[in-house]
Structure formats: structure tokens, C-alpha cells
Amino acid sequence: MGVYTTSDPATGEKIAQYPEISDAEMDDLIGSSATAYRTWRTTPLTQRRAVLVRTAEIYREQADELAELLTMEMGKPITQAKGEVALVASIYQYYADHVEEFMADEHLDIAGPGTAVVRTEPIGPLVGVMPWNYPFYQVARFAAPNIALGNTIVLKHARNCPQSALAIARVLTEAGLPDGVYLNAFISSAQVADAVADPRVQGVSLTGSEKAGSAVGEVAGRHMKKCVLELGGSDPFIVLRDADVDAAAAAAVVGRFANGGQACTASKRFLVEEPVYDEFVRKFLDGTAGWQPDEPTNPGTKLGPLSSRSAVDELDELVQDAISHGAEALTGGHRPSGNGAYYPPTVLVGVTTEMRAYHEELFGPVAVVHRVGSLDEAIGMANDSPFGLGASVFTSDPQQADRVAAELDTGMVWINSTSKSSPDLPFGGVKRSGIGRELARFGFNEFANKKLVRNMEGKR
């Protein structure tokens, strides 16, 4: 039987372990979720809304304590950890503020007699599989809208953040969520597959790797279950010749290195037009110098450790592959010694198609900068990726920005900005970046039954 382990990535010290539950215990959890659904789906919206409001309040009230868990379990710098907690509170508050609007009947303008109404209803127990890089935020994107809608949730969190997982369940209980509506589950990948296949479960949401998404999506498809998959990204950051280079370089540093570069929507490939390439690289490197790895509990730290030593190994393998094939590291590019999972900010140039770093996702503080000769070349290189999550475009020409946005094969495009999550903006991608959307009304409707009620004799 496997375990979930809290290890401090800054030191490598093991702090706590939790065993996986048995198959019988997992079956009981799903049964409890199914039982709770029968009551929760009919609970008045005012009561569901009150739970969401109180959840947001608790996240704000306990922000310091909760942020410390993120820093301890995955190395997130404490200032950024507090920012994540604040974002989570805003997500629960957003769905509290909008649940009545999102649940309202939609009256259709029809040609025939009578009336037609589309009602928004829950579908049943759901399974969530969530990652470690944003332990509270990723769960909130899935849990908040579905709790509001009336679904129930069995949540498998990442193995390296069990205390964060337990804290989420505790907060929801303190907020007044009834037993069984949200259940934490320390289960294995095989048990996830069994849970998705269970007839009582009606859908699954996963945020994670392509490999995990493919496995869960296969099981969901085989058993005719709705799934939302938020997977990897290799987001392009395009700097055109008319861009404000100072602003672009400053945004590039934050977009690449925040959260240790461990974000699917982090800016990863920088495509810079020839006339401003040298200036951008110089200013990007100047900004990068201020992001040296340091102790994550220090309020001034911008770049903490990666989540684990294995994450360092995987990242360094891609960097060394690129360097061995002719790429150059303008800064960084080496794995430091010591027990901590630290990696220096690294900027690679000269990366070509035969190198793994050209197509694979670099999940850490490593930037790849390309020189491009034209707008068309920038768009072509941006789309030359198996991923299609987000993109950033820096230009002073609004018409040019619109053209680039229209031609990029991504789910999100940001003009003169890096990707910034907000409860009222849909999140998701295309290609191998996943299926479906989270947040805003779009996320609310992913696991909703849009039920048509047609009355042939009703008054229009």
C-alpha cells in the first residue's frame, strides 16, 4: 500500500506520511458521496451560497496558516502562497455571488406552441484528481462551482501535499458543508480508475500531466463519463518589433519564474522579432538576476525550491540535452549540490527542433528564447507545439494584436500581459493541453445537466 508524504523541498526532510485507503474504504467514500448528493442537490440555493461565502471568509481568516502549508509542502515562496490563498477565497466568493444567476432557467424563444425552458441541474457524484503546483487553487477551480451547482465530490490530491488536502476538507467542514459533499481520498491511480468506472460516479476532472490525462480520459470514455482535462502547456510569449520592450521584459521575468516556473500557463517560449531581440534579451537577463533561489519562508524570496529533487532531475535532463546539442545557457543551466530541490533561473538560446526542450514542457525556471524574423514566423513557431493552452503577445498595434490572437492555436491569449487567473475568466486549452473549461460560467456548466422542459400547452 502506498503513502502520501509531506517532504520539505527546501531541505528534503520528511515531515509526515499518510497511508492510502483500502478498496473497501474507497467504496464507502463513493457511497457516502452518492448518499449526500440526494440531499445536497435539493438544498436551497441560499444555504449552498452561505457555505461558499463562509468558505471564502475562512480562507481569508486563516490565510497565514494555510499559506505556510503551501510553502512547507511544495516550496512556494510565502508571499506567493498568500496570493494563492487570496485567489482561492475570491473563487468561492465569485460562485456565491453568481450561483443564482447561473442556475436561473433559460426561456427559449421557440417557433411552436407552448413554452420551452432549459434548466441547469447537477449530475451527481464527481471524482477530482488534482496536482501539487497550486494545491488550493486547482481544487477551488473544480470544487467551488460544483458545490454551488449541487454535485458532490471525491477528491484525490497529489501525493506530496497531503496536509494541504486535509486542510481543504477541514475548511469546507468548518464552513458548514454537510458530511459527504466533499470527501478527501488518499487513493492510488488504480483506485482512481475504479472510482471513475463506478456507476455511482458521473464525471471526472483532472489537472495534471498528459500521461495522467490520457489514462483518466480513456477510462472516462470507456464508461461514458463526462471529463474535464486540464493538462500541460508550453505557452509562447511573442514580442513584436513595435512592443514596449521594457514592459515585455519585466512581464517575461514574472511570467516565466513565478511559482518556480511550475505552472502550465507559465510563459515558456519567448519568440522575439529581430529588431528588438538583443534589447529584450539584455533586459530579460537583467530582470532574471533578481530571481535567485532562496529560502521560501523569507517574505522577500521570489524563487524557492522546486517541488522535489526528482523534479530538478527531470528539468536538468532537458537543459543538459539542449546544451549537449548546441544550445547556450546565458545564465544558469546547472544543477546545484545540496539536499534542497533548488534550480537556478536559466535562459537558453539556440534551441532547435532536434532538442527535447523545443517541444517538451519545461516545468521549472527555464526560459527558451528564439529570434524570429517576422510576425508570420512568430505565429508559425508559436503554433509548432503539441500544446495549446495560453499565449502572450506584446505589441503597440491593436489590429496586429487581434490578428495574432486570431491565428494562435490556443485556448487563451493575453495582449500585453502574461496569463493571470481570475474567477470570472474561463481557463482551458486545445490540442494536448486538455478538454473543457474551468472558472466563470463556462466552468459552472461543465458538469451540469442542461435539461429541456417543453410544455406544448403552456403560455408563451
Instruction: Specify the residue for cell string 503551501.
Output: 70
List the grid coordinates of 415. 495582449
CB proximity list for 370: less than 8 A, separation 6 or greater: 269, 270, 271, 272, 349, 351, 381
Quick check: is 264 catalytic? yes
Question: DSSP assignment, residue 211?
Answer: H
Q: List, as one string, the DSSP characters of 421-456.
A: --TTS-B--EETTEES-BSHHHHHHTTEEEEEEEET
Q: What is the C-alpha separation between 259 and 306, in angstroms, rounded?
A: 9
At CA 429, angle to CA 424 and CA 431, rounded to 5? 170
Nearest one of 415, 409, 356 to 384, comparing CA atoms: 409
**Number of neighbours of residue 279 by Cβ within 10 angstroms:** 15
**CB-based contacts of 6, cutoff 8 Å, min separation 6:** 14, 15, 16, 17, 72, 73, 160, 161, 162, 163
Please give the grid coordinates belonging to residue 293: 533561489
The single residue of 73, 84, 227, 264 carrying the catalytic annotation is: 264
Look at the block and give the residue holding cell 521575468: 253
From the candidates 84, 230, 438, 446, which is the catalytic residue? 230
Residue 300: CA count within 13 A, CB half-sphere = 2
Determine how many CB atoms are found less than 10 A away from the CB of residue 336: 13
Residue-wise DSSP of 143-169: HHHHHHHT-EEEEE--TT-HHHHHHHH
Name the grid cell of 224.
Answer: 461514458
Span between the terminal Cα atoms of the chain, in Å: 61
Q: How many CA atoms lie within 13 A of 263 on its CB side?
A: 25
Task: Give the span between the Cα atoms of 271 and 243, in whole angstroms.
Answer: 12
Per this entry, what is the length of the chain?
A: 460
Q: Is 106 tagged catalytic? A: no
Dihedral class, residue 431 (left if φ above 0, else alpha if ψ from -120 to 50, else beta):
left
Q: Which residues are catalytic?
A: 230, 264
